């Protein structure tokens, strides 16, 4: 039996294919796969806090510029951009702080069932790093 979360993800993927994003936010940030990092906990926490704050600020500013109220449900595609591909759990790990910041900007908990999170990645050029947030309505 397929879980409700997987069914929601399948519906979200179909919706993303048929719609254009309501909002796109580009972030000039280098995300790191924290599950493989060998930094100390202070450096990891500092980096996570900075990414969360940046994603919260840029997403909130983009939402404010649009002027419309956010209507749930939403599909949020988080895209890691880097010169090398990461494995699935590495992408999820790298996008965690970004996800938390976007959830803060949306005013929801990142566990809220009305928001479907779709982690993804795109290959960038040499030394090209970044992230993108795409928000789809409904």
Domains of the chain: total: 1
Residues spanned by the domain of 92: 4-137
Please report the beta strands in 7-82, taking only residues with DSSP state E, as ranges in sequence order: 23-27, 74-82
CB 137 within 8 A of CB 71: yes
CATH number of the domain within which 78 lies: 3.30.1330
**Mean pLDDT value across residues 79-93:** 92
User: pLDDT tens, 56-82?
Assistant: 999 999 888 766 677 888 899 999 999
Task: Indicate the pLDDT class of residue 101, thresholds 50, 70 and 90.
Answer: very high
Find, among 83, 80, 103, the residue nearest to 92 by Cα.
Answer: 80
């Amino acid at each position: 039996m397929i879980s409700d979360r997987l069914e929601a993800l399948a519906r979200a993927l179909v919706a993303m294919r048929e719609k254009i994003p309501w909002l796109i936010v580009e972030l000039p940030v280098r995300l790191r796969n924290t599950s493989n990092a060998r930094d100390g906990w202070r450096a990891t926490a500092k980096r996570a806090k900075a990414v969360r704050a940046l994603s919260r600020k840029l997403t909130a500013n983009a939402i404010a510029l649009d002027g419309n109220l956010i209507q749930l449900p939403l599909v949020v595609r988080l895209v890691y951009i880097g010169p090398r591909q990461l494995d699935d759990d590495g992408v999820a790990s790298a996008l965690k702080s970004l996800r938390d910041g976007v959830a803060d900007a949306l005013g929801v908990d990142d566990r809220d069932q009305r928001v479907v999170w779709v982690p993804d990645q795109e290959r960038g050029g040499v030394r090209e790093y970044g992230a993108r947030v795409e928000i789809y309505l409904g």
